[in-house]
């Protein structure tokens, strides 16, 4: 067993890990090792935005996890892809750039010890990370590594969705990442010059030029190591499985886990940090008895509301082999055309009922009727809205099955386990049908495909959800920040009960935010980088945000 020494060891080259690798190595006196269990990101299917279904639906670039049979979803084992490649999930996701609502971060800051996670504290780091193609302002950045563009909405169906929303009484919002999230409008994507702009592209590629950064792919970390007989236990490094050999690598300063909401709690448990009874049952020595490790698992569930389209203008025309070749050639030669977009170019956020303070339902509109990961190919001209609750009350867990880092952990989300979640999903379907019934869709709207028109009662809608809803792929909160007995990390990501060990990824969110998680995870890592480097936090923002003035009595 050979031993190497670095100042920082980062486990996981995903949305957070690539950010930290870049920011920590800005200090030339610091050495950083970035370990990624998966391969490099050279595939054309990663970099071509419209091809994201390919890496999303196979196990070459992702962990290909599945939940245990979900008790409230007809015992279905739900698909839970997680990036296992440079860039992590930012290299296989749908590239939607959504920050969440300001009130999400106000909610984080309401917890003891998390006072510096308010919207005013987080907004400067969103701006620091971003370069928006349309330019910056008090909300948007103009000089960050992460390039963000806005959908052109050339297909008339995109604007039909926005117009129909207005006809149904919802506002149009030009920037749901700016002052006003609530409403329907064009959506942003992490696409730059026709290419996916993952954190590997935005943060890791520039940092690779620095001599103080080493990156190793196909490096599976088996456990975090600790110094013997220290109180509290001191993390000293990691053990990496390399074929039949195990290498020990030391960290002079910190080990930082960036594996995400599934892999970070898995690695903590493998390292002796977690529920002591469960760890002893597997023969693992308890380093720190933290019962919250792997608990509090949260995710967004969504369903598709699909209609046939009466005009042949949907993406179904692009699904035949000849069309795909033409699209691929244009993208490779010019970086333009249908290959250069994620096709989620309009969407939005609404409130499910009066009394809800900020939007609890999200939309992604797609001018095609197809499954998100491409597993159910389109067979007709159609369109769909993805809709789902943003702040689920169901909670799940991640628990290891054995001492092997190669064995996937047990994952259970308990989707739709509460009446509140079922109520919000029912509202989502009914409100979406209402939007699609507006005049703006009259020329396009064919028959209802899913759910059918005869699915009307609460029981019928619930049955439809149990059979058809899918994960929106936003697992989070399994190593949550806080100070109570079930918290795993403090407000700086440091693991309770040990020293020299930190978690920086979506797992430390105390509650899932109202939107997609890639942008918030990047923000979180940018903010944590300053904390780790003992740099002063960026000045707090004074920018206001929109709350519907009559939310207590009006749904829209």
Name 3's bridge partners.
248
Closest CA to 130 of 513, 539, 522: 522
Alpha carbon distance 255, 249 (integer Å): 10
Alpha carbon distance 213, 28 (integer Å): 9
Radius of gyration (C-alpha) of the chain in whole angstroms: 23
CA-CA-CA-CA dihedral for 336, 341, 346, 349, to nearest 10: -150
Alpha-helical regions (H) of 449-500: 458-468
Is-catalytic flag, 192?
no
Alpha carbon distance 142, 266 (integer Å): 37
Cβ–Cβ < 8 Å for 187, 152: no
Alpha carbon distance 41, 61 (integer Å): 8
Alpha carbon distance 264, 17 (integer Å): 12
Q: Single out the catalytic residue among 386, 474, 496, 548.
A: 474
Alpha carbon distance 101, 209 (integer Å): 36
Helices 156-167 + 419-436 axis angle, to 10? 110
User: Euclidean distance between the first and final Cα of the chain, in Å?
Assistant: 63
Cβ–Cβ < 8 Å for 235, 8: no
Closest CA to 493 of 482, 485, 484: 482
What positions carry a catalytic annotation? Answer: 474
């Amino acid at each position: 067993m050979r031993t190497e020494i670095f100042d920082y060891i980062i486990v996981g080259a995903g949305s957070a890990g690539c950010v930290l690798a870049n920011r920590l190595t800005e200090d030339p006196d610091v050495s950083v090792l970035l370990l990624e269990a998966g391969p490099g990101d050279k595939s054309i299917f990663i970099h071509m935005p419209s091809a994201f279904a390919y890496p999303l639906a196979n196990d070459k670039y992702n962990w290909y996890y599945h939940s245990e049979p979900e008790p409230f979803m007809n015992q279905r084992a739900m698909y839970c892809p997680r990036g296992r490649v440079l860039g992590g999930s930012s290299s296989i996701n749908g590239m939607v750039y959504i920050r969440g609502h300001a009130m999400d971060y106000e909610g984080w800051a309401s917890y003891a010890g998390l006072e510096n996670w308010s919207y005013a504290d987080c907004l400067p780091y969103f701006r620091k990370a971003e370069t928006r193609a349309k330019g910056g302002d008090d909300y948007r950045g103009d000089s960050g590594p992460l390039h963000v563009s806005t959908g052109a909405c050339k297909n008339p169906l995109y604007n039909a969705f926005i117009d129909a929303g207005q006809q149904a009484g919802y506002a149009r919002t030009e920037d749901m990442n700016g002052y006003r999230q609530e409403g329907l409008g064009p959506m942003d994507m992490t696409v730059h010059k026709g290419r996916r702009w993952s954190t590997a592209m935005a943060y890791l590629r520039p940092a690779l030029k620095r001599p103080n950064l080493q990156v190793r792919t196909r490096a599976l970390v088996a456990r975090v190591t600790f110094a013997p007989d220290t109180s509290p236990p001191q993390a000293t490094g990691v053990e990496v499985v390399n074929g039949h050999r195990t290498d020990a690598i030391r960290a002079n300063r910190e080990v930082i886990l960036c594996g995400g909401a599934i892999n970070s709690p898995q690695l903590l448990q493998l390292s002796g940090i977690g529920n002591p009874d469960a760890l002893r049952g597997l023969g693992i020595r308890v380093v720190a008895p933290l019962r919250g490790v792997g608990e509090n698992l949260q995710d967004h569930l969504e369903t598709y509301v699909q209609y046939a389209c009466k005009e042949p203008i949907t993406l179904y025309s692009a699904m035949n082999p000849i069309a795909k070749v033409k699209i691929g050639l244009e993208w490779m030669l010019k970086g333009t055309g249908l290959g250069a977009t994620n096709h989620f170019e309009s969407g939005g956020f609404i409130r499910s009922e009066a009394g809800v303070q900020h939007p609890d339902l999200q939309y992604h509109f797609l001018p095609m009727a197809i499954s998100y990961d491409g597993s159910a190919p389109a067979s007709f001209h159609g369109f769909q809205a993805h809709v789902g609750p943003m702040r689920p009350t169901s909670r799940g867990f991640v628990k290891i099955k054995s001492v092997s880092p190669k064995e996937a952990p047990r994952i259970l989300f308990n989707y739709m386990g509460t009446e509140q979640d079922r109520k919000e999903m029912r509202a989502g379907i009914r409100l979406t049908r209402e939007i699609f019934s507006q005049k703006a869709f009259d020329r396009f709207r064919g028959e209802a495909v899913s759910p059918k028109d005869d699915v009307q009662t609460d029981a019928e809608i619930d049955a439809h959800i149990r059979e058809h809803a899918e994960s929106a792929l936003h697992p989070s909160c399994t190593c949550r920040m806080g100070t109570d007995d079930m918290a795993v990390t403090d407000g700086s990501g440091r693991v309770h009960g040990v020293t020299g060990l930190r978690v920086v990824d979506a797992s430390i969110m105390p509650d899932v935010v109202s939107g997609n998680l890639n942008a918030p995870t990047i923000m979180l890592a940018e903010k944590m980088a300053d904390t780790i480097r003992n740099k002063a936090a960026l000045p707090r923002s004074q920018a206001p945000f929109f709350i519907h003035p009559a939310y207590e009595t009006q749904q829209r």
